[in-house]
Amino acid sequence: AHDLRVQSTFFDGIVWLVFGQDASPLAKMRELLNRLGGNMRPAEDDLAGLTRAVSGLLVGKHVLIVLDDVWQLNQPKPIV
């Protein structure tokens, strides 16, 4: 993600999310939504709603999302 060639490929941004042992998938999706410039809406206070909101923000974008320090397979959820 620090390589200039990678940065030029993902010209819409690079988002680095650090999970750790006790990370909540819901909290990380909220963080991702906020870091992508999205706003929280009451209907998006669940994982499915957050996933739809993040997916909508990523349409047509070249964004690299780095998931760092993931301890459990169920922490990161598919976005699309």
Pairing of strands 63-70, 13-20: parallel
Express each pLDDT in 46-80 by its tens digit.
888 888 889 999 999 999 999 999 887 765 555 54
Q: Is the dihedral of CA 60, 66, 14, 51 positive or negative?
A: positive
Quick one: pLDDT at residue 80? 44
Quick one: pLDDT at residue 36? 93
Express each pLDDT in 16-36 by its tens digit.
999 998 888 888 989 999 999
Quick one: pLDDT at residue 60? 94
Query: Is the model's pLDDT at 4 over the cut of 80?
Result: yes
